[in-house]
Chains A and B, each alone.
Chain A
Amino acid sequence: MMPDQLLKIDKLNVYHGSSHTLQDIDINISNRPKAILGRNGMGKTTLCSALMGLTKAASGSVFLDQTDISSYSPESRAKTGIGYVPQGRRIFRSLTVIEHLKLVEKKDSRWSIEKIFSIFPRLAERRKNMGDRLSGGEQQMLAISRALMLDPKIMIMDEPTEGLAPTIVDDVVELLHSLAEHEIGLLLVEQNISVALEVASDILIMLNGRIVDQVTAEELKSNTQMQQKYLGINFA
């Protein structure tokens, strides 16, 4: 069973120069997948990067499975169990698909290269291709696989469906659903409201560096007023 509190973010603050990018962020993530919705420039990517330790937080703490990882380096956070799928995928352009997987291969991981290839036969086909020769969808599959191979407790995914064709988006959504079966927590950051609603049970709304609302997916689905107010879109 997954613990009740997988990831706990407590009063996290980040500054970029004089601008206060993240303001007193409090988030608790249990075994239910959570999504953060918000438009561009609201601080979503900064949050992911701060959780990974790549952006320095001015104050606040982060606990992973009851361990305080606030002072951990990015590499220690990864080892403690955060799988990071960054915005723009950040595939290593001079590594082949198979090299990406070999890079993060671990002996005692639940995820082997064969297992990844059985989930994503497309990656198996393109195993010898360089990172910069892959399509957006293939890159995304690889980025997710790369994080999974580390056998994480929780995945932090920054806009995994950005720029993907609709059929591929469906594949990614399906995969995200299956994370729960493997007892992997999920913090999904999205602009695509339909993906967020489909994958996550709880939705956090981010506006100007703050979490301004927390609703269930059901609530948000029916509340078009809220959608317009925070996200400026109509969900059809």
Chain B
Amino acid sequence: MSEASGPVLIAPEERPIRQVALLLWRDKFAFVAAAYLSIVAFFAVFGPWLVGDLATSLNLRLRNAPPGSIEHGWAFVLGADALGRSILARLIVASQNTLGIAAAAVCAAMICGGTLGLIAGYVGKWPGAIIMRFTDVLMSFPSLLLALVVLFVFEPGVKNVIIVLAITRIPIYLRTTRAEVLEIRERMFVTAARVMGAGSIRIVLRHVVPIVAPTLVTIAAIDFALVMLAESALSFLGVGIQPPEFTWGAMVALGRNYLGSAWWLAFWPGLAIMLTTLALNLLSSWARMATDPTQRWRLEITDKYDG
């Protein structure tokens, strides 16, 4: 607070990692978000190994045990689910599947959508037209029907859910990329590169992709949450992740049956989804600010409103 009298500039650092860390530390929200995500990522990698059988061992006597008591051990501090399993342990183990599915689906959608969008935007003509009509079809295709089709054609499993979620998210990346490419294509430097004889692929990779990518990453941060929720909705309709596999989304879907009597079954996994989304968004808006030369000053001063 003593610094609130005026802006204090951070001297440009030589080592970039240290600089990023300092910028992060300046934005307390982003810092907390990064810390939270690191913890979740840690559990996603090591969780199943740390917790072991605790997440799957049944104890019907502890069915729906309420949270806030450590009478049955620390594992039950968040309560127990409908089969008396530790909710805390299940949250930890589920983080692997949850983040894995969401990340795989978002990345797949971003890569497919981005590539198709680049083609549609840069090449145009008939490939572009075909791709755009295909997108229109995809956007109006009911996702539940898609999920059922995938379910019937392939063996059930985690992979199916990823395919369905990825397909339903493709249009947003495709349309965004195409719109940006259409605009970039006409800009001076691209025209200049073309005049100078650079090949299409080279232009796209060198000049177009770097401009489009940040937008896509920003969308991906919000999409991550939407994908987790969509996965939950698929479980709710019976075509998502099914026991014995579980994710936060599936835990919420199952827990909703108990909202009237045991709210904690759906509350904790819902909170985990919500916090992860929040953290990703805070971090992505921080990253946007930190990489944008016109906005970066906001991070480099200590803001008096943020006391």
Chains A and B come from one and the same complex: no
